[in-house]
């Protein structure tokens, strides 16, 4: 884990998620915080999936209304490192991430020389 | 030695890849309308693409991020979506124009009907993208695009008044209709700085896993490749200025462009010009289709990569395929591809600030860039070009209307 301080808005939000195998599996679309207004607020989870843009301003709210699918919540304990991307400890499938690519793959695989 | 060879090959591909239908149309029309007076605008445009492509390559090497990663991180979801939608709109228009250009070049070579060749062209593009390894695509289209160098020979053979040519490198307000002149200034700078080039370049740099040790290659590619690409633009404008302006021929057809090489060099000149145009425009079509796929994948966090087989990045593959289909549908309506070309360049100018502002911000952020943060030189040019981009972005639409799309 990166030591020192980190700016959540600039350093985590909207960053790429990479699973343990380096697979790209979504963006940090929102963060779930706990204990706001108390002594020590904490990030408890990453929320990913366009419906999470509800809380992301006017354009985000409009876009989230059009977005299909559900959001996925990844507990912060799954985060192994925050660098240029947010690295996760598990495989995307185990965290139910990257499902769009997984759904599209069989379709593409039907065509010749897709591998 | 092997490394030098690799760099040289990369540069050759960059020269062939710089010129696309926007450059061809605006340079030849500018030459036919204003002679050599607008050569300086090409210099400004080439300087702009060098400045920002270098920055994008450096951001990719230092922070492993491509343009739309940066756009998303810096502009957030809201403004980022505006940048994405406008970027995709411009990419699609550009792609449509390139597909139309491919069909015209094929038509001039074969004489077959335009719509048949549109279908053939887009099917050929899809097959090449699906089956050909990317390294081969880059080489074949880059090197064959070098046939455009025939225009450099044509420019010399047409014996232009070199004194007036030299004079054209000094910025001026030109003689003739000021609105038309301004329209061409915006078009020439916009065509040189067309944003798919930086989307494609930075994504390629991330895919090739550039690290700070590769920054020398980045600088060489950008400086030499784009400068020599700019020479091709000069050649197009100079030969059009020497041949078309005195004859009073305007250049609203791509066939006129080929004529510029045929008159001084005969049949061989004509064929080289058409082959060069065909491959350069096809290369640009491939780059802009991929750029569309890169942008959307990076914005949403999907898997992406031109070196991956489609099963490795399925939504990315579907995205470039959808781009091709939509681009085809635009031109198959029968809309004039030259008109689409001009509009795509002018609209891209309007959207330029949304691409270049986040890049400049990130290139100045030590948290991303560390020791490779913009130096003074990069910032002087970066800020200068951001101002240029803002000015032409504001002026583009009014000039389009005032000049009646350059018709006066």
Q: Among B66, B136, B312, B314, pick the best mutation site for testing chain A contact (most A Cβ within 10 A).
A: B314
pLDDT tens figures, B171-220: 998 888 999 999 999 999 999 999 999 999 999 999 999 999 999 989 98
Establish if B366 touches chain A: CB-CB under 8 angstroms.
no
pLDDT of residue A2: 47
Task: For residue A38, tell me if it sits in a domain.
Answer: yes
pLDDT of residue B189: 97
CA distances from B146 to A110, B191, B245 (A): 37, 19, 26
Establish if B140 touches chain A: CB-CB under 8 angstroms.
no
Nearest CA in chain B to A22: B303
Smallest Cβ–Cβ distance between B318 and the set A17, A53, A108 belongs to A108
Task: For residue A104, tell me if it sits in a domain.
Answer: yes
Domain that holds residue A16: 8-109
B153, exposed or middle or buried, with CB in 10 Å at 0-12, 13-18, 19+? middle
Tell me the average pLDDT of chain B: 93
pLDDT band at B259 (very low <50, low <70, confident <90, very high): very high
Task: For residue A1, tell me if it sits in a domain.
Answer: no
Task: For residue A93, tell me if it sits in a domain.
Answer: yes
In this prediction the pTM is: 0.95
Question: How many Cα atoms within 13 Å fall on the side-chain side of residue B254?
Answer: 31
Work out how many domains chain A is built from and give that number. Answer: 1
| CATH of range B2-402; options 2.60.40.10, 1.20.1740.10, 3.40.309.10, 3.30.365.10 | 1.20.1740.10
Task: For residue A2, tell me if it sits in a domain.
Answer: no
CB contact under 8 A, A104 and B76: no
pLDDT band at B310 (very low <50, low <70, confident <90, very high): very high
CB contact under 8 A, B310 and A26: no
Cβ atoms within 10 Å of B207's Cβ, excluding its own: 17
Ordered by start, the domain boundaries in chain B are 2-402
Which parts of chain A sit beneath pLDDT 50? 1-2
Pairwise CA distance, residues B352 & B90, whole Å: 10
Cβ atoms B291, B196 nearer than 8 A:
yes
pLDDT > 80? residue B264 = yes
Smallest Cβ–Cβ distance between A58 and the set B73, B78, B314 belongs to B78
pLDDT of residue B88: 97
Please report, rounded to a whole number, the percentage of residues in chain A having pLDDT higher than 90: 69
The larger pLDDT score, comparing residue B10 to residue B217, is at B217
How are the residues of chain A apportioned to helix, strand and coil, as percentages rounded to the nearest 5? 30, 25, 40
Establish if B115 touches chain A: CB-CB under 8 angstroms.
no
Residues of A in contact with B81 (CB under 8 A): 59-60, 63
Please report, rounded to a whole number, the percentage of residues in chain B having pLDDT higher than 90: 85
Q: What CATH number corresponds to the domain at position A75? A: 2.30.30.240
| Dihedral Cα B204, B356, B14, B146, nearest 10 deg | 130
Q: What is the mean pLDDT of residues B217-228?
A: 90
Task: For residue A96, tell me if it sits in a domain.
Answer: yes
Tokens read off for B208: 């090739």
pLDDT of residue A3: 55
Establish if A93 touches chain B: CB-CB under 8 angstroms.
no
Task: For residue A88, tell me if it sits in a domain.
Answer: yes
pLDDT > 90? residue B242 = yes
pLDDT of residue A1: 45
């Amino acid at each position: 884990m990166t030591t020192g301080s980190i700016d959540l808005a600039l350093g985590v939000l909207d960053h790429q998620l990479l699973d343990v195998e380096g697979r790209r599996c979504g963006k940090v679309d929102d963060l779930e915080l706990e204990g706001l207004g108390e002594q020590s607020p904490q990030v408890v989870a990453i929320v990913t999936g366009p419906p999470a843009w509800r809380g992301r301003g006017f354009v985000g709210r409009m876009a989230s209304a059009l977005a299909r699918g559900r959001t996925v919540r990844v507990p912060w304990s799954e985060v192994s490192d925050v660098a240029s991307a947010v690295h996760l400890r598990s495989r995307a499938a185990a965290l139910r991430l990257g499902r769009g690519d997984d759904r599209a793959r069989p379709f593409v695989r039907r065509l010749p020389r897709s591998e | 030695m092997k490394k030098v060879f690799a760099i040289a090959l990369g540069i050759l591909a960059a020269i062939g890849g710089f010129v696309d239908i926007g450059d061809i149309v605006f340079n030849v029309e500018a030459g036919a309308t204003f002679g050599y007076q607008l050569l300086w605008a090409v210099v400004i445009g080439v300087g702009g693409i060098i400045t920002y492509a270098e920055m994008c390559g450096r951001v990719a090497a230092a922070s492993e991020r491509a343009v739309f990663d940066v756009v998303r991180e810096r502009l957030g979801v809201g403004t980022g979506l505006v940048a994405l939608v406008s970027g995709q709109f411009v990419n699609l228009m550009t792609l449509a124009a390139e597909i139309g250009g491919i069909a015209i070049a094929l038509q001039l070579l074969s004489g077959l009907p335009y719509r048949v060749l549109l279908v053939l062209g887009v099917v050929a593009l899809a097959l090449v993208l699906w089956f050909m390894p990317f390294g081969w695509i880059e080489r074949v289209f880059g090197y064959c695009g070098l046939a455009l160098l025939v225009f450099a020979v044509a420019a010399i053979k047409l014996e232009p008044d070199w004194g007036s040519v030299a004079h054209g490198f000094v910025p001026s307000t030109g003689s003739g209709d000021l609105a038309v002149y301004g329209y061409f200034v915006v078009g020439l700078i916009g065509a040189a700085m067309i944003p798919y080039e930086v989307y494609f370049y930075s994504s390629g740099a991330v895919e090739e896993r550039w690290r700070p040790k590769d920054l020398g290659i980045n600088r060489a590619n950008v400086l030499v490749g784009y400068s020599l690409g700019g020479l091709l633009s000069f050649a197009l404008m100079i030969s059009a200025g020497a041949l078309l302006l005195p004859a009073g021929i305007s250049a609203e057809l791509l066939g006129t462009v080929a004529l510029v090489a045929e008159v001084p060099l005969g049949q061989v000149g004509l064929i080289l010009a058409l082959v060069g145009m065909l491959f350069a425009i096809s290369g640009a079509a491939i780059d802009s289709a991929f750029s569309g796929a890169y942008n959307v994948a990076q914005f949403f966090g999907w898997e992406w990569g031109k070196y991956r087989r489609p099963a490795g990045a399925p939504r990315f593959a579907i995205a470039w395929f959808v781009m091709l289909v939509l681009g085809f549908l635009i031109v198959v309506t029968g809309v004039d591809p030259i008109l689409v070309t001009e509009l795509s360049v002018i609209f891209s100018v309007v959207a330029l600030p949304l691409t270049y502002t986040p890049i400049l911000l990130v290139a100045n952020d030590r948290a991303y860039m560390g020791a490779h943060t913009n130096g003074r030189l990069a910032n002087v040019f970066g800020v200068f070009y951001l101002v240029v981009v803002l000015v032409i972005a504001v002026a583009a639409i009014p000039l389009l209307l005032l000049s009646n799309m350059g018709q006066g």
